[in-house]
Amino acid sequence: MTDLTPDQDAVRRYLCDEAPDARLMTVRLSKTKNDMLDHQNMPLSVQKLCEELVAAACILSHMLKFDGEMILQIKGSGPITMMVAECSSEGRIRSTAQWEDVGDAITFEDFFGAGYLAVTVDPRQGERYQGIVPLESGSISGCINHYFQNSEQLDTKLWLASDQSTVGGLLIQRIPEEGGQTLQGHANWETLSALADTITNQELASEAGPLMIYKLFHELNPRSFDPWDIEFGCSCSKERSARALRALGEIELKQLFAEQPSLTVDCHFCGQVYQYDQADLEWLLSDQPPRSDTLQ
């Protein structure tokens, strides 16, 4: 453990020499989360939940190691009706939410009401996979833990916390062993889990990284692997944004263009505004890609 300064927006993996039946992961985001959310004018309470969902997406994406997008989406009946966080296999994240007046909402239930969290693995090649858990666990980390119980059948625990400048996460997972027995003479899963449980939200939010791992697990000789850098990026394009217009149908689209010279579609993830004028109508009504001179 040489570099103990968690100044990077990254996901990291660790193994402990004295607890070989478990893997550890941390995520820490600071600048990236600001780049991602600053333009969205979310109430602070909504923003904190969004940050936690993104942190979870980063950890899951890096853990499953596949080529494509990890998408976490919450749909609820509360003032936050939708929240989504995506992390690509290149470490590119984006997130957004739809909310109404959150008033004096405090608890997870106050914000989301009843609904579900969907974990979608969207590989660039191959089948999409989706697992769904109800919003019954009182927190984003609780829902993800529930997901692991249901689908992965591996003992896994996730902790998430954010403060004004950073969001942090810690995940511990039992590595299945032949025969299912913990190696003799080594710390077991319960010890690791109990040590992880001593973390405070404040420490987790601000210190998630090698230093925190060392503080929590130093007796177990943790070793850190190379960080996986995370950055903000949006995959939107004029062609993709056009889907919203195409969904209106030919009659309504023609009517809208008759009433105004141009239409705009905003990308909620990054704030990019795409403009469509009369000259775009033909390709909007066809399956053709946009005119090359209007590509943005």
Q: Should residue 236 be labelled a site residue for Zn ion when binding is judged by CB under 5 A?
A: yes
Contact window for Zn ion (CB under 5 A) among 16-24, 134-142, 261-269, 286-294: 261-269
**Which residue lies nearer to Zn ion by CB, 108 or 269?**
269
**Which residue lies nearer to Zn ion by CB, 110 or 122?**
122
Could you tell me which residues come within 8 angstroms of residue 32 by beta carbon, excluding any fewer than 6 positions away?
9, 93, 230, 231, 232
CB 124 → Zn ion: shortest distance, Å?
19
Candidates 14, 99, 269, 274; binder of Zn ion (CB under 5 A) is: 269
Contact window for Zn ion (CB under 5 A) among 21-29, 98-106, 148-156, 229-237: 229-237
Candidates 4, 64, 234, 285; binder of Zn ion (CB under 5 A) is: 234
* 8 A C-beta contact, residue 12 and residue 26: yes
The residue count for the chain: 296
Could you tell me which residues come within 8 angstroms of residue 111 by beta carbon, excluding any fewer than 6 positions away?
45, 46, 49, 76, 78, 79, 80, 102, 105
**Which residue lies nearer to Zn ion by CB, 222 or 233?**
233
Q: Should residue 267 be labelled a site residue for Zn ion when binding is judged by CB under 5 A?
A: yes
DSSP track, 214-281: HHHHGGG-EEEPPPEE-EE-----HHHHHHHHHTT-HHHHHHHHHH-SEEEEE-TTT--EEEEEGGGH
**Which residue lies nearer to Zn ion by CB, 39 or 218?**
39
Contact positions vs Zn ion (CB under 5 A): 234, 236, 267, 269-270, 272
